[in-house]
Structure 1
Amino acid sequence: MTEPSTPPQVLFYEQGASWWWLLAGPAAGAAMALIQLSAGYGIQWLVPGIFFVLVTGFLWIQVKAARIHTSVELTPDHLRQGEERISIDDIVRIYPEPTGPDVAKWQSSRALGELTGVPRGRKGIGLKLTNDRGAQAWARKHQRLRTELTRLVEERIPPEPSA
């Protein structure tokens, strides 16, 4: 008999978006029903029903896309940002957070994932990758992701001496 494989240990995870947003659909339908009621027309279920279906449908699409494209997962072996997965072995260094008004060079590097930049509400973390490549990891809880990434990289590669 083969032994079932154990899932990798997840050190950091962000889901991207919450399904709770879908409650705005019923709220929009209820608001339309209350508007009709307060206007003295009585409740005609077609308009609240349309608002319920449209708002819930559009939000379902948005939440589903956010859960795919803005989720983050870090395990001891890989970092997944949206649909892109990179090996921890490809990360050579974690750049320090930028200080002051100057823009750090790593902030112009491409963001990991299939998006064109760091998603709104997230903050970038500079990475130096193998073959002298640069990239930005990102997360809402960026400090925690930075701490975990730094720990993983320093376990493999000792930190550079400060000049």
Structure 2
Amino acid sequence: MTTDAKTKPLFYEPGASWLWVLSGPAAGASLVLIEVWSGAPVSLVVPAIFLVMVSAFIALQVKAARIHVSVELTEDALRQGTETILLREIVRVYPEAENSPKSDKPLAKWQTARTLGELSGVPRGRHAIGLRLTGGRTAQAWAKRHRHLRDALTPLIQERVEPAGSDVTDGDDDAGAEL
């Protein structure tokens, strides 16, 4: 058995699907169909150029999304894009926020914390999950299927942090709204 064997992910989101690259051939085929239906002579040069350009552009975007917007949770770590945080650094998973960041209502303190990964905020189409980290730090994890990530992450943190039958309160309730 090797020491670098990967553990099976408890949660995984790839960030983007390679199926989107098929829009290149679809663009080329649609141009051929337009030429056929319009009665113009069929030239394969322009559809081939569209096929290559669209496929290459979308493949570049899919590759970037698979690097920067993918999420993986194992028993030891949470990876958000290119940043990996060890689960032993996570002390608490905050409950879902009452108010959306897009609303004018007060936000929970964790909703203004740093976002995990190298992105400047929660990626579009993803939802934030508040995390309390060691050293009093707070951060936002994120995922498209955020409830599935929360359901997989919370028991891992609780079984490590909370002794059986105890109520954890650290005296600093970051889950509440800022005043």
TM-score (norm 2): 0.85
**Number of equivalent positions:** 160
Indicate the residue corresponding to 2:176 in structure 1. Answer: none
Higher deviation after alignment, 97-106 or 111-120: 97-106
CA displacement at 1:157 relative to structure 2: 0.9
Indicate the residue corresponding to 1:122 in structure 2. Answer: 126
CA displacement at 1:42 relative to structure 2: 2.1
Structure 1: distance between partners of 2:41 and 2:29: 13
CA displacement at 1:28 relative to structure 2: 0.2
Structure 2: distance between partners of 1:39 and 1:64: 36
TM-score (norm 1): 0.93
1:160 aligns with 2:155: no
Indicate the residue corresponding to 1:55 in structure 2. Answer: 54
User: RMSD of the alignment, in Å?
Assistant: 1.5
1:12-47 CA-to-partner distances (Å, cap 9, x unmatched) read 111111000011000000111111112211211111
Indicate the residue corresponding to 1:151 in structure 2. Answer: 155
Q: Structure 2: where are the runs of 5+ without partners?
A: 100-104, 174-179
SS in 2 for 1:52: helix
Structure 2: distance between partners of 1:8 and 1:135: 25
SS in 1 for 2:115: coil
Q: Structure 1: where are the runs of 5+ without partners?
A: none
Higher deviation after alignment, 6-15 or 122-131: 6-15
Aligned-residue identity in percent: 54
Structure 2: distance between partners of 1:140 and 1:98: 16
Structure 1: distance between partners of 2:60 and 2:148: 29
Structure 2: distance between partners of 1:9 and 1:54: 36
